[in-house]
């Protein structure tokens, strides 16, 4: 007899398994019948229908890429447009010997090795019946040469397309960004069929963050083709929906003034309308030419940009992190008044330095001989450091953190482009987590003059200044105010976004601080008095100087002894006009020295132009 070797309750188990196997067999039969019925439906019942389709199946569907939306400045000047261009494209399916075709094409059109390399890479990824570009930007002569020889190259064709172009080049590169060829990372993110005819995608700035609006929706056409797949005629066409045009809030005349002011310097300038958050000026200097990136920058130029010590690729407005320096003082003043630690007229004595009880270390004032008796008004207009050491110490880091975060320090501003840095508003908790250390009182002290750990971006400073000008109304900055549709001409105005208000309701506090900032410019002894001379309007501001390197206790900062890259950053925040603010600015000139000399005059120039334009429109209106 034959018997299997098993040690367990085999009878029962075999039964369980056999039952299931039979059951599975029935399911399989059932599913096979479904397939048979489906094939029967298609081949017998629908046979005539599909035969008709197959006979007329000389029809292919090809995508029509949408036209990318244009970008306009506030005045309606085109900042990003589409220029016609020709590329040489290949349908892989229709070519037997790629190497041979390339060799023959090389004889009439210049094709570089890097083109071939990129082409072969694309060839592997794309579907065999889709076009792959071999060369971009053919000139007219090359187009003509190919046209004459076209019969020799079935499966190869010149395709007309549009290329993104930025007429103002580097002036707005940090704002608008640029488009570039779709790469592997993009492919993972995008909707493949909506991009089936598209070669470029927004990589940076507005081009990136508004990609979905700018791109539009792909259309397609049914075309009749001959046996080689060449298009004979178009049968039907579903037109693409072009991308939306964007209207920016950037004011080109102000932008130009800011660019000129930072010529050959490193720095950033942001101007913003405090009422609606419109960014009027957005300059990060130096810039670079975005047009080089559209069809791929060559590695030599890219390396040059990367290694330049001016770091042109960094968007300083949203990614530059600077110590706010004395520009933090008006905000701290607000926090102190609100908490009741200080009344506006309370005085401190400033002998030119301050020491914590029981400590040797002297925290020095910028004015060696001291400011004497100082109240908050004087401490702001003359930027007394000692007053703010004491004030900060009495407030304590917790209240400082609480108060300043209401003005947006340490948080993204929420502007409508990606990549914003948060800056750093230190707190006890932050220090414990990041450095694993307790908070020291001395660190609170230097928070009073915006030094130490505190870092903010120029955009954060501008937003905080706007919130101050607004007396607590926090408006989110924006670069796009409306979109318009090029077919329907519908204009969609984007909403102004108001964030949580600064929770300080006492009107006197706002009045006092704003008055002090006015007197920085227009008052006696104000640090920016030179910039306030002979104006037809009044503006309010605060200078700042941010230390780049620490200075030893017994040494003094001597400008001429220090290399340029270690000199202080000049800062200035301001808004105008004082009574009903319509523009707020934050200016940072890297290694520019003192804020009053290097930064405040730029604000004056911007305000002059802005106020001139305002009166012009008012008289016109």
Partner 1 sequence: MEEQSLSQRLHIDFPLLSGIIILCLIGLVILYSAGGQDIDLVYRQAIKLSIALIGMIIVAQLPPAVLERWSLWLFIFGVVLLLLVIFFGDVGKGAQRWLDLGIFRFQPSEIMKLTVPMMVASYLADKSLPPKFSWVVIVCILITIPVLLIAKQPDLGTSLLVATAGFSVLFIAGISWRLLMSMGILAAAGAPILWYFMHDYQKQRVLTLLNPEQDPLGAGYHIIQSKIAIGSGGFYGKGWLNGTQSHLEFLPERSTDFIFAVFCEEFGMIGVLLLLCVYLFIISRGLYIAINAQNTYGRLLASGLTLTFFVYIFVNMGMVTGQLPVVGVPLPLISHGGTSMVTLMIGFGILMAIHTHRRFLSF
User: Which residues form the catalytic set?
Assistant: 326
- Structure token pair of residue 585: 């600015």
Using a 10 angstrom Cβ sphere, with 0-12 exposed, 13-18 middle and 19 or more buried, the burial of residue 55 is exposed
Q: Does 355 bind partner 1 (CB under 8 A)?
A: no
Q: Does 566 bind partner 1 (CB under 8 A)?
A: no
Q: Quick one: which of 11, 141, 184, 561 contacts partner 1 (CB under 8 A)? A: 184
Q: Are strands 245-248 and 71-72 parallel, antiparallel or unpaired?
A: parallel
Q: Does 4 bind partner 1 (CB under 8 A)?
A: yes
Report the distance separating Cα 468 and Cα 303, nearest Å.
Answer: 42
3-state helix, strand, coil in the chain (%, to 5): 40, 20, 40
Minimum CB separation of residue 210 from partner 1 in Å reads 15
Minimum CB separation of residue 196 from partner 1 in Å reads 5
Q: Residue 615: is the preceding peptide bond cis (ω within 30°)?
A: no
- Structure token pair of residue 558: 């001597």
Minimum CB separation of residue 495 from partner 1 in Å reads 21
* CA 563 centroid distance within chain: 32
Q: Does 2 bind partner 1 (CB under 8 A)?
A: yes
Do 473 and 498 contact (CB within 8 A), yes or no?
yes
Q: Quick one: which of 26, 54, 113, 620 contacts partner 1 (CB under 8 A)? A: 54
Comparing CB distances to partner 1, the nearer of 94 and 535 is 94
SS3 of 45, please? helix
Binding segment for partner 1 (CB under 8 A), chosen from 180-188, 406-414, 445-453, 517-525, is 180-188
Q: Quick one: which of 11, 16, 360, 554 contacts partner 1 (CB under 8 A)? A: 16
Interacting positions 82-141 with partner 1 (CB under 8 A): 93-94, 124-125, 127-129
Comparing CB distances to partner 1, the nearer of 99 and 561 is 99
Minimum CB separation of residue 185 from partner 1 in Å reads 11
Report the distance separating Cα 188 and Cα 178, nearest Å.
Answer: 20
Minimum CB separation of residue 209 from partner 1 in Å reads 15
Q: Does 5 bind partner 1 (CB under 8 A)?
A: yes
Q: Does 38 bind partner 1 (CB under 8 A)?
A: yes
Q: Does 53 bind partner 1 (CB under 8 A)?
A: yes
Comparing CB distances to partner 1, the nearer of 61 and 549 is 61
Cα 234 to Cα 57, 157, 225, 230, 239: the distances in Å are 13, 17, 9, 11, 12
Q: How many residues bind partner 1 (CB under 8 A)?
A: 63
Report the distance separating Cα 176 and Cα 505, nearest Å.
Answer: 38
Binding segment for partner 1 (CB under 8 A), chosen from 32-40, 258-266, 440-448, 574-582, is 32-40
Q: Does 21 bind partner 1 (CB under 8 A)?
A: yes
Q: Does 42 bind partner 1 (CB under 8 A)?
A: yes
Q: Quick one: which of 11, 26, 32, 370 contacts partner 1 (CB under 8 A)? A: 32
Comparing CB distances to partner 1, the nearer of 36 and 434 is 36
Do 476 and 497 contact (CB within 8 A), yes or no?
yes
- Structure token pair of residue 50: 């599909």
Do 412 and 476 contact (CB within 8 A), yes or no?
no
Interacting positions 188-247 with partner 1 (CB under 8 A): 188-193, 196, 218, 220, 227, 229
Minimum CB separation of residue 178 from partner 1 in Å reads 22
Using a 10 angstrom Cβ sphere, with 0-12 exposed, 13-18 middle and 19 or more buried, the burial of residue 569 is buried
The contacts found for 196-202 with CB under 8 angstroms, 24 or more apart, are 196/63, 196/65, 196/130, 197/62, 197/63, 197/64, 197/65, 198/65, 198/66, 199/65, 199/133, 199/161, 200/68, 200/164, 200/294, 202/177, 202/178
Q: Quick one: which of 144, 159, 160, 187 contacts partner 1 (CB under 8 A)? A: 187
Q: Quick one: which of 17, 159, 231, 549 contacts partner 1 (CB under 8 A)? A: 17
Q: Quick one: which of 39, 77, 144, 492 contacts partner 1 (CB under 8 A)? A: 39
Provide the binding-site residues for partner 1, judged by CB under 8 A: 1-6, 8-9, 12-14, 16-21, 24-25, 28, 31-32, 34-36, 38-40, 42-44, 46-47, 49-51, 53-54, 57-58, 60-61, 63, 93-94, 124-125, 127-129, 184, 187-193, 196, 218, 220, 227, 229
């Amino acid at each position: 007899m034959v018997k299997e070797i098993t040690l367990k309750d085999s009878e029962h188990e075999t039964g369980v398994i056999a039952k299931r196997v039979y059951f599975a067999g029935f399911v399989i039969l059932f599913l096979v019948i479904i397939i048979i019925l489906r094939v029967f439906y298609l081949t017998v019942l629908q046979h005539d229908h599909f035969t008709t389709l197959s006979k007329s199946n000389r029809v292919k569907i090809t995508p029509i890429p949408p036209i990318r939306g244009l970008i306009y400045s506030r005045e309606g000047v085109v900042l990003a447009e589409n220029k016609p261009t020709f590329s040489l494209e290949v349908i892989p399916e229709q070519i037997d010997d790629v190497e041979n075709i390339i060799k023959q094409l090389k004889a009439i059109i210049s094709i570089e090795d890097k083109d071939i390399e990129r082409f072969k890479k694309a060839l592997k990824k794309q579907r065999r019946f889709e076009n792959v570009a071999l060369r971009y930007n053919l000139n007219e002569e090359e187009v003509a040469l190919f046209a004459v020889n076209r019969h020799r190259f079935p499966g190869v064709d010149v395709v007309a397309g549009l290329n993104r172009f930025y007429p103002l080049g580097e002036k707005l590169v940090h704002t608008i960004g640029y488009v570039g060829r779709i790469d592997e990372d993009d492919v993972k993110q995008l909707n493949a069929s909506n991009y089936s005819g598209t070669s470029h995608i927004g990589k940076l700035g507005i081009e990136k963050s508004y990609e979905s609006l700018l791109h539009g929706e792909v259309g397609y056409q049914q075309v009749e083709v001959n046996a080689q797949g060449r298009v004979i005629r178009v049968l039907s066409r579903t037109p693409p929906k072009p991308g939306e045009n964007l209207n920016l809030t950037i004011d080109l005349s102000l932008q130009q003034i800011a660019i000129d002011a930072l010529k050959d310097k490193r720095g950033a300038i942001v101007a913003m309308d405090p009422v609606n958050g419109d960014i009027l000026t957005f300059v990060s200097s130096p810039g670079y030419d975005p047009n080089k990136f559209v069809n791929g920058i060559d590695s030599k130029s890219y390396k040059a940009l990367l290694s330049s010590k001016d770091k042109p690729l960094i968007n300083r407005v949203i990614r530059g992190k600077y110590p706010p320096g004395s520009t933090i003082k008006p905000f701290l003043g607000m926090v102190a008044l609100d908490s009741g630690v200080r009344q506006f007229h309370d005085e401190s004595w400033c002998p030119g330095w301050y020491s914590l009880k029981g400590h040797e270390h002297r925290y020095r004032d910028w004015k060696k001989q001291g400011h004497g008796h100082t109240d908050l008004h004087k401490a702001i207009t003359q930027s007394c450091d000692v007053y703010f050491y004491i004030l900060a110490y009495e407030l304590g880091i917790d209240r400082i953190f609480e108060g300043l975060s209401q003005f947006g320090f340490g948080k993204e501003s929420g502007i409508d482009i990606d990549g914003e840095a948060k800056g750093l508003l230190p707190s006890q908790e932050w220090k414990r987590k990041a450095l694993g250390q307790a908070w020291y009182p001395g660190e609170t002290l230097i928070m009073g003059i915006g030094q130490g750990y505190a870092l903010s971006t120029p955009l954060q400073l501008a937003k905080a200044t706007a919130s101050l000008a607004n007396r607590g109304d926090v408006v989110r900055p924006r670069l796009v105010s409306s979109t318009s549709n090029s077919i329907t001409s519908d204009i969609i105005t984007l909403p102004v976004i108001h964030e949580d208000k600064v929770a300080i309701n006492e009107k006197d506090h706002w009045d006092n601080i704003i008055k002090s900032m006015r007197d920085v410019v227009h008052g006696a002894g104000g640090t920016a008095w030179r910039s306030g001379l002979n104006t037809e309007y009044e503006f309010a501001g605060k200078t700042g100087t941010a230390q780049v390197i620490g200075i030893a206790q017994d040494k003094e900062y001597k400008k001429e002894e220090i290399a340029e890259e270690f000199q202080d950053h000049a800062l200035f925040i301001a808004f105008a006009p004082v009574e009903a603010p319509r523009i707020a600015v934050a200016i940072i000139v890297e290694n520019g020295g003192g804020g009053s000399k290097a930064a405040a005059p730029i604000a004056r120039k911007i305000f002059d132009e802005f106020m001139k334009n305002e009166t012009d429109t008012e008289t016109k209106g």
